[in-house]
Amino acid sequence: QVQLVESGGGSVQAGGSLRLSCAASGRTFIGTAMGWFRQHPGKERETVAAISWNGGRTYYADSVKGRFTISRDNAKNTVYLQMNSLKPEDTAVYYCAADRRPYYSGQSSFEYWGQGTQVTVSS
């Protein structure tokens, strides 16, 4: 059974940092892109960041560029999201997902999703 399990969420004050981790089990995702997404209450899920199968290409939403960094450790089947200079508008449920493809090209090709982890940033 394929599972993606996020961890590292929590509450932090504005300007603080959090590091999210997503551990995959059940199969290896070495050949596929991975991504982090978030959903604010009442809004559609949006892409936060994505990373190609070998880490060579990354994508960031404009709202997080320069503050968030996505990385992966294929040996550990784990992807990370380092979040710095957090803002109240970063408050959301964050999801990890695995793509069918080796490079990010949009949400529609992501086939495996984690259960989500809450990130709350207070002002």
Q: What's the pLDDT tens digit per position in 6-57?
A: 999 999 999 999 999 999 998 888 899 999 999 998 999 999 999 999 999 9
**45 vs 94: CA distance, rounded Å:** 9
Per-residue pLDDT at 27 = 86
Mean pLDDT across 57-71 = 98
> Mean pLDDT across the stretch 57-65?
98
C-alpha span between 79 and 35 (Å, rounded): 8
Report d(CA 96, CA 118) in Å as an integer: 12
Rounded average pLDDT over 83-87: 98
What residues pair up with 25 in beta bridges, in sequence order? Answer: 3
Buried b (16+ CB within 10 A) or exposed e, 73-95: eeeebbbbbebeebeeebbbbbb
pLDDT above 90 (res 1): no
Assess contact for 49 and 60: CB atoms under 8 A.
Answer: yes
Q: Residue 107's pLDDT is what?
A: 94
Instruction: Give me the pLDDT at residue 4, please.
Output: 96
Contacts of 103 (CB under 8 A, 6+ apart): 33, 52, 53, 57
- Provide the pLDDT for residue 30: 85
Determine contact, residues 27/47, Cβ cutoff 8 Å: no
Residue whose pair of structure tokens reads 């560029």 in the numeric block: 65
